[in-house]
Amino acid sequence: MTFGQLKQVLGSDAEFKVESPFMVDFDAIALSKSGKVQYYILYPAGTTFSDSDSIELLLTDNPDLRTTEGVGSGTSLKQAEAVYGDATLSYNTQNESREYVRFANQPARNLLFRPTVSNQQFSGIYSSPIREYNETKKFQESATIHSVLVGF
Confidence bin at 37 (pLDDT 50/70/90): very high
pLDDT computed for residue 118 by the predictor: 94
What are the distances in angstroms from CA 113 to CA 13, 104, 143, 147? 28, 13, 12, 6
Confidence bin at 38 (pLDDT 50/70/90): very high
pLDDT computed for residue 40 by the predictor: 98
Give per-residue pLDDT as tens, 40-88: 999 999 999 999 999 999 999 999 999 999 999 999 999 999 999 999 9
Dihedral pair phi/psi, residue 82, rounded to 5°:
-65, -30
Q: How many CB atoms lie within 10 A of CB 145?
A: 23
More confident residue, 99 or 95: 99
Confidence bin at 102 (pLDDT 50/70/90): very high
Give per-residue pLDDT as tens, 104-151: 999 999 999 999 999 999 999 999 999 999 999 999 999 999 999 999
pLDDT computed for residue 55 by the predictor: 98
pLDDT computed for residue 89 by the predictor: 98
pLDDT computed for residue 136 by the predictor: 98
- The amino acid that residue 14 corresponds to is A
What are the distances in angstroms from CA 13 to CA 2, 8, 9, 43, 143? 18, 11, 10, 23, 34
